[in-house]
Amino acid sequence: MLQPNNEKSNITLNQDVEYLNNILDEVLRHEGGDELLNTVKYFRKLSKALRDDDSPSNFDQLNQEIMDLEPNLRKKVIRAFSVNLQLYNIAEQNYRIRRRREYQMQDDTIIQPRSLEDGVNQLYENKVSVDQVEKALEDLSLELVITAHPTEATRRTMMRIHQRIADLLKKWEFTYTRYDKKVIQEMIENEITILWQTAEIREKKPSVMKEVSNGLYFFDKVLFNVLPVLHQDLEDILEEKYNHRFHVPAFLRFGSWIGGDRDGNPNVKAKTTLNTLKEQRKLVLTKYMESIDSLKEKLSQSSKKVKVRESLIESIAKDRSELDYKGWHKDDEVYRVKLGMVMKRLKLTSEDKEGGYVDAHALREDLLLIQDSLEYHHPNQTPIKLLRHIIRQVQIFGFHLATLDIRNHSGEHESTITEILRQVGITDDYKALDEEKKQRVLKKVLEDPRPLISIYDEFSEASQEMIETFRTIKEAKDTFGERAIEVYLISMAEAVSDVLEVLVLAKEVGLYRVYPDGNVKSRLHVAPLLETIDDLKFGPTIIKSLFDIPLYRKHLEARGDLQEIMLGYSDSSKDGGNLTANWELYKAQEEIHSIASSYGVKLKYFHGRGGSLGRGGGPLYSSLLSQPPVTLGDGVKITEQGEVLSSRYLLPDIAYRSLEQATSVLLTSIAGINQTEKHREMPTDKAKSAMAKISDAALSTYQDLVFNDKDFLTYFNQGTPLNELGALNIGSRPMKRKGSNRFEDLRAIPWVFAWTQSRQLLPAWYAAGSGLKAFLDETNDIQLLREMYQQWPFFQATINNLQMALTKADLEIADAYTDMIDDQEMANRIFDQIKKEHKITKDMVLLIAEQDDLMDHQPNIKESVRLRNPLVDPLNLIQVQLINQLRKLDTEDSQFDDLLSEVLLTINGVAAGLRNTG
């Protein structure tokens, strides 16, 4: 397929970077005088020289210059490089938006890859029939779930400034008079000044409700409008290509964990969940009222001029009798009259008063009534687009805005069940029973229609909170609709009893009920989360055992024969290394899907991916391509965490592009035309066997270092800013599960975050090279590995993610972090091992991909990393020096807080530069 010339875009990107840098330099001069500006320029020059010629003398000179900085100037230098990187990110996002626009300006022979047009063209060119497209649309389902995982280092206040600068940069490009350009430049300079004068670091951890507010920001400013536009565009493009009017269902939805995720977060209570849903409802109703108000301005048609449907007239009469409200002062402007009634009902709904809408379906029915009447007299029977837009919003967001998932740890459920069963005299110590006896007890409880507890029973605080959580779920579904909460997720689900325990708790509040005739009513999906390597290996056995339980099968029948299963990328990677984790995830999906098919059960996989490569990160479309194709047809869920939210959903154009890529890939995959014939043959048994050998060797190498080297944890704790991360206040959840220092209790987010800061990015690549080399040494079959790379999307994504991780890792800079380790002999020994593995992995990746250098297949990203490095390097070197000083001080020392503040500023800056945190 033809593509537009990249040269103009690249030139304009460099121009944008230079333009913003020049404005920043003027701000630096104003805020810190020539001393600050000249120091920053000198450091930029030194850092670039270090990249051009990495001789020890350049490195030593840069380090010495940093050491000689007096504290006040040093702090300003840190901030200058951090802001510089933030502005680079804005320029790069503007470049992406411009590239999309340039494609759209071309004729229809030049179409942007993985756009909606590209996906529909693939369907058409591969002779996918209208009936097949309609079937694919029925199966199309993607749910993206935002979480409050603490990986976003940037305050929302700062992000809003970024958004304003991005909007101004876009306007500047399309402004042609000298005067207008001058005005916009002054506005950008003002925003950068405000950015400089705004505190970057949070003074305290955000509350859960603050995190809820942060999440709702993306719905309010971007998603509420982008999602319906994308649906409508797909419908229009399909109609244009096929000359057939398709109905595109609401296939793309957003969910949330914020306010529902209890795992390890003691701040999330039943009351928090209810308040979260109220805030979501408040926002969505407000957005509807804004949209209806805009629509009312447009629909001024008079019944004296056009003939409207009688059904509309009748509905207005009914509204007036029920509401005692006129709706609009001119009776002949019937649409305004009706929309006035709609506004009145929405207001009553928001106030929980009589006369409000029972549910979102009732609102949609009113809007469809208006649409039907408009089509009756409007040219070409085409309804007003704004009306279609609002109808689609109601279809997607309902009265709940986003489905809230509830998650808790399996051990919490077990403790509550133990207390309940002891109190009612069923068994004294349920927790001590073996798995078979547990299942027997739980099945008997589930088969008995009678409840175990009443509202008058009293339990321990923890158990009472658990019971209240389930009561809240029922209240939420009754109040906000079934879609308000659909899934209960079980962390560390290691046995069948872990799932049955949740059903018992659901039964106690009426969410699950067995009738005397044996029929089952169930209002909640129960989803196990398989998150360690052992969980993934044992997962198929758990699922098959569940499906063999007649009562559980009845529960599934009541839920539409759909089982949701969550897959954890973070803990499995921390447990066994990135390559082994991804292979075990792939295998588990295929095996569980095969089991489910044999029982006639549909599966929806929920991929718990993070933003960083060490936690399953990468482009949204790439994560879809890398899954076994058979798993995509029953619906896909993916978490969108931390910094991913701002990088993908802060700007409408970027959000649209990310979502259209995912839609295009998913639609063509479901239709079965996303692969060539060779792709369909992959993975062969030979390829799977190779992958198993590679994984086993990689796991052994990974665990030799991480679990079997007695000094490794000391190396990690002392050689990264792990201990300083806790002061960054970026999330309401603690860094460690139980407040212990055990590796097992360290959360995956700080594990990855700390390695990223030290530029080693070890979780994203370590041991993969040894695994690949072991296979090649044994078989000498490089051709098989190259075929796997060319024809197997999973393996291709694995190798390409390794390329990205190795490119972002910088062991020259990482070497400086070993100076923070007390035992230098140990530090050098482990770091030499890491360097050796880095070289092996790089050599293997280039051999398989048949490239001369990393990221040759994506030169834009390669160039981006190259340009960022000289701005990130000084921040890393300053960070090392500051941490060395900080760790020698007592927390009561007068210098401690100031030094810690500077360390946190460097962490923010490095995070901005690498575009990844945890």
- Report CA-CA distances (Å) from 299 to 340, 374, 395, 877: 12, 9, 21, 62
pLDDT of residue 382: 64
pLDDT of residue 609: 84
- Report CA-CA distances (Å) from 739 to 22, 419, 762: 47, 25, 24
pLDDT of residue 264: 80
- Report CA-CA distances (Å) from 660 to 106, 138, 179, 602, 858: 18, 17, 37, 25, 20
Tell me which of 1.20.1440.90, 3.40.50.150, 3.40.50.261, 1.10.10.10 is the CATH number of domain 274-397.
1.20.1440.90
What is d(CA 262, CA 276) in angstroms, rounded to the nearest whole number? 13
| Secondary structure of 44-75 as H, E, C letters | HHHHHHHHHCCCHHHHHHHHHHHHCCCHHHHH
pLDDT of residue 626: 86
Closest-CA residue to 556 (of 512, 594, 507): 512
197-209 burial string, b = 16+ CB within 10 Å, else e? eeebbbeebbebb
Catalytic site residue from 231, 409, 413, 574: 574
Closest-CA residue to 896 (of 736, 755, 724): 724
Domain locations along the chain: 274-397, 403-600, 681-720+758-857
Q: Please indicate whether residue 247 is annotated as part of the active site.
A: no
What is d(CA 873, CA 359) in angstroms, rounded to the nearest whole number? 55
Name residues whose C-beta falls within 8 Å of residue 777's C-beta, 6 or more positions apart in sequence. Answer: none
Mean pLDDT in order along the chain per 10 residues (918 residues): 49 84 95 96 91 78 91 96 94 87 76 93 95 95 86 75 92 88 94 92 85 93 97 96 95 96 92 97 98 94 93 95 91 95 96 95 97 86 83 97 97 97 96 97 94 88 96 96 97 96 97 91 97 94 97 97 94 92 95 97 91 70 86 91 83 94 94 62 93 98 96 96 84 60 78 93 96 98 97 94 94 96 98 98 98 93 89 96 95 90 92 73
Report how far apart the first and last C-alpha atoms of the chain are (Å, whole number). 37
> What does the block give as tokens for 820?
């923070």
Tell how strand 520-522 and strand 512-514 pair up: antiparallel
How many contiguous H segments (helices) and E segments (strands) does the chain have? 38, 11
Any idea which residue has 């973070």 for tokens? 570
Check if the beta carbon of residue 555 is closer than 8 Å to that of residue 512.
yes
Which pLDDT tens digit goes with each residue over 772-792?
A: 999 999 999 999 999 999 999
568 strand-pairing partners: 608
Q: Is 522 left (phi over 0), alpha (psi -120 to 50) or beta?
A: beta
Check if the beta carbon of residue 798 is closer than 8 Å to that of residue 577.
no
Angle at 367 between CA 363 and CA 369, to 5 degrees: 115
Q: Please indicate whether residue 149 is annotated as part of the active site.
A: yes
Catalogue the E-assigned strands of 748-839. none
Name residues whose C-beta falls within 8 Å of residue 203's C-beta, 6 or more positions apart in sequence. Answer: 729
407 strand-pairing partners: 261, 489
What is d(CA 240, CA 234) in angstroms, rounded to the nearest whole number? 10
| Helix, strand, coil percentages in the chain from 3-state DSSP, rounded to 5 | 65, 5, 25
How big is the chain, counted in residues?
A: 918
Closest-CA residue to 475 (of 282, 279, 277, 286): 277
Check if the beta carbon of residue 358 is closer than 8 Å to that of residue 202.
no
pLDDT of residue 7: 47
Any idea which residue has 């996002």 for tokens? 93
